[in-house]
Structure 1
Amino acid sequence: MKYEFDSEFDGCVRQTFQEVGIPPDQPIPRFARGDVGGRREGASFAKAVLALDAEVTNVTRTAYMAKADDGYEVPVLAYQVKQDRDHATLEPAVLYLHGGGMMFGSAELFEPITKSDVAATGVAHFSVNYRVAPEAPHPTPVEDCYAALLWLHSQGKALGIDNSRIAVAGLSAGGGLAAAVCLLARDRGLIDNPPIAKQVLLEPMLDDRNIEPGDEALAPFATWTWDDNWTGWNALLENRAGLGDISAYAAPARARNLEELPPTYIDVGTLDIFAKEDEDYALRLKNAGVEVEWHLYQGVPHGFELRGRQSVIVKQAYKNRRAAVQSLLLRSERAKLS
């Protein structure tokens, strides 16, 4: 298969690199397998790009804590549009799980995107600072996220949140965790039926078996490489990635049963090493009777929303992603009419 960047997107990538002071022809940094520290330092690129956009001033941030089973207090940052809230009308919410390959990232790092999403959709986002590997291997990250979901359910009314309209969303590793949280919620019989209104999986990291180069032609375009994936999965799974007994709550692509999961939005770029596993997961969800909205964006790699932020394809992706979240608001309108 022949791969190539979308030409307009590629031009926008060059513009972004120029704005952050990176020579446009500088090779993408590559790190050795197992180098967690180097990849954590590399996250400074995302921070620099996110700092380019104008600050969103009409969204507030409030810090909360959700207690995990081991007693750890998981930080949860709530982002909401500034307004007078009497909580007389309960509103939808998103439990948001940040990216970072299971090894790095934070709610604060992705705060500019979260604030922009809240401002654009009007839907509150609760962003979880889950613990990351290798210091906190599986099941700690997903259990932290599940604890945050339980907290949001239990405190929903006090926060002005409608428990029947909570979505779980995540980017990259966060997308994998979002999928895993939905599996956990289904299997543990969380509160309502269904417990989650929607799962929004953005370029999700789903399959620990995808750790060896599968397509040499794709390799030059990969911004998240197979070596990166090997490092992230082995950090999470304590050097057991790809083995036969990995839990679906760590790697959702391992799940045998995808029935009774919430309606799903899922997207990815064709130049992403996650493209096949994400497409397979979307098809399996559909075959299991789950409502699926699937987008495969041509000619863009992993993390395309950061690199080509001014491009037509990124703007379209944001439009589609935010519409998926705003469907939670439409559910309320339909309920009023019925």
Structure 2
Amino acid sequence: MIDPEIAALADLSRPPLTPAGIAERRAGGRVVTDAELTRGGSVTFTEEDADGVPVLVLRPARSTGPPVLHLHGGGMVAGTRRTDLHVLAEWVEELGVVLVSPEYRLAPEHPHPAPVQDCYRTLTWMERNGFVSPVVAGTSAGGGLAAAVTLMARDFGGPAIRGQLLICPMLDDRCDTPSSHQFLNGTTWVRTSNITGWNALLGDARGGPEVSPFAAPARAADLSGLPPTYVDVGSADLFRDEAVDYPSRIWRAGGNAELHVWPGGCHGFDQLAPDAALARRARAARIAWLTAVTRRRPPPPA
């Protein structure tokens, strides 16, 4: 059941995403203005090039804190480096972090591994340019990419990552958890949409035995050696079960993870209805975790 306040404020009428609707979904994306990014002058931004990947860099107008690499959502097929940044500029304003948002390539024109390669390339660019030991964060498809980039940094020997923040992450191409079958209509991201996104990224390989954990992090056999992790998801989100399983497996591997399941939250509820009480609680909990993790001593260089 979706929280009544969320249901009243959010538009849940968007039709499921199909391959034929990808172009329309891209064209219909919300355009974040310069004024929204700067938040009345408390935030500045620059457009930069991260080894061929266009990035947007948000900085606090005053003191500068630790960096955050944020990877946007969009089901692997939509979104831009500005997606959701009108909400995430709050992190820059309140915490003083420097936020880097790349324009990774999108499927189906650029299937796996192109999107995650762009994200990892941005991470290595950040290290070379003084943005060391970032938190890697992402929403929806970006949450899956954030988890994948963190696995790559562990397996490839760096760069060092301070923590990973996964918001309603898209982690499992098999689409076979109970919650992936539960939400067929009446919410913002349903089973048809999810299969469309994964098929665009992986083609005929989706659901098969050879899918890389760098494409679908739920496929990783080993979740040890990861940095502090924060995962949150709504109870009415198709990604609920895979998002709950991921930190559970980190705990079993001896790692540090924090999990929040927001009762009545649908996919993307905090962006669709930012003034709802549930959305405010979710954003406050993320900021509290970010505050704690960015104040810790950063990990040593890999």
Query: TM-score under structure 1 normalisation?
Result: 0.81
Q: Hey, what's the Cα distance between the residues in 1 that align with 2:176 and 2:115? A: 20
The equivalent position to 2:16 in structure 1, one of 20, 30, 35, is 30
Q: Hey, what's the Cα distance between the residues in 1 that align with 2:167 and 2:113? A: 21
TM-fit CA distance, 1:214 = 5.9
Relative to structure 1, the CA distance from residue 330 to residue 138 in structure 2 (aligned partners, 3 Å threshold; closer, same or farther) is same
> Does the residue aligned with 2:143 lie in a helix, a strand or coil?
helix
1:128 to 2:111 alignment = no
Give 2:59's aligned residue. 80
TM-fit CA distance, 1:124 = 1.1
- Any runs of at least 4 consecutive aligned residues in structure 1 with deviations exceeding 3 A, and if so which? 31-35, 50-55, 211-218
TM-fit CA distance, 1:219 = 2.6
Q: Hey, what's the Cα distance between the residues in 2 that align with 1:61 and 1:225? A: 34
Query: TM-score under structure 2 normalisation?
Result: 0.90
Give 2:292's aligned residue. 327
Q: State, as a whole percentage, how many aligned pairs show the same letter.
A: 39
The equivalent position to 2:174 in structure 1, one of 206, 209, 220, is 209
List aligned pairs for 1:1-338, cutoff 5 A. Answer: 4-13=1-10, 27-32=13-18, 35-43=21-29, 46-47=30-31, 56-57=39-40, 58-67=42-51, 73-83=52-62, 91-156=65-130, 161=131, 163=132, 165-191=133-159, 195-210=160-175, 218-331=183-296
Contact 1:35–1:231 (CA<8 Å) still a contact in 2?
A: no
Q: Hey, what's the Cα distance between the residues in 2 that align with 1:76 and 1:174? A: 15
Q: Hey, what's the Cα distance between the residues in 1 that align with 2:56 and 2:16? A: 32
> Does the residue aligned with 2:70 lie in a helix, a strand or coil?
strand
TM-fit CA distance, 1:227 = 1.0
Equivalent residues, number = 297
Contact 1:96–1:168 (CA<8 Å) still a contact in 2?
A: yes
Q: Hey, what's the Cα distance between the residues in 1 that align with 2:113 and 2:106? A: 10
Deviation track 1:159-194 (CA, whole Å, cap 9, x = no partner) reads: xx4x2x411000000000000000000000115xxx
Relative to structure 1, the CA distance from residue 29 to residue 114 in structure 2 (aligned partners, 3 Å threshold; closer, same or farther) is same
TM-fit CA distance, 1:105 = 0.4
Contact 2:13–2:187 (CA<8 Å) still a contact in 1?
A: no
Q: Which sections of structure 2, spanning at least 5 residues, go unmatched?
A: none
TM-fit CA distance, 1:239 = 3.2
TM-fit CA distance, 1:128 = 1.1
Letter paired with 2:39: V
TM-fit CA distance, 1:215 = 6.5
> Does the residue aligned with 1:298 lie in a helix, a strand or coil?
strand
Letter paired with 1:276: D
TM-fit CA distance, 1:218 = 3.4
Contact 2:44–2:61 (CA<8 Å) still a contact in 1?
A: yes
Give 1:88's aligned residue. none
> Does the residue aligned with 1:107 lie in a helix, a strand or coil?
coil
Q: Hey, what's the Cα distance between the residues in 2 that align with 1:247 and 1:255? A: 8
Q: Hey, what's the Cα distance between the residues in 1 that align with 2:252 and 2:122? A: 30
Deviation track 1:68-126 (CA, whole Å, cap 9, x = no partner) reads: xxxxx0012110111277xxxxx311011011111010112333123222112221111
CA RMSD across the alignment: 2.5
> Does the residue aligned with 1:270 lie in a helix, a strand or coil?
strand
Deviation track 1:245-304 (CA, whole Å, cap 9, x = no partner) reads: 100000000000000011100000011110001101110011111101100001111010
Q: Which sections of structure 1, spanning at least 5 residues, go unmatched?
A: 18-25, 68-72, 86-90, 334-338
Q: Hey, what's the Cα distance between the residues in 2 that align with 1:215 and 1:330? A: 36
Letter paired with 2:69: L
TM-fit CA distance, 1:8 = 2.9
Letter paired with 2:141: A
Relative to structure 1, the CA distance from residue 146 to residue 200 in structure 2 (aligned partners, 3 Å threshold; closer, same or farther) is same
Deviation track 1:203-223 (CA, whole Å, cap 9, x = no partner) reads: 000000017986665333431
Relative to structure 1, the CA distance from residue 184 to residue 112 in structure 2 (aligned partners, 3 Å threshold; closer, same or farther) is same
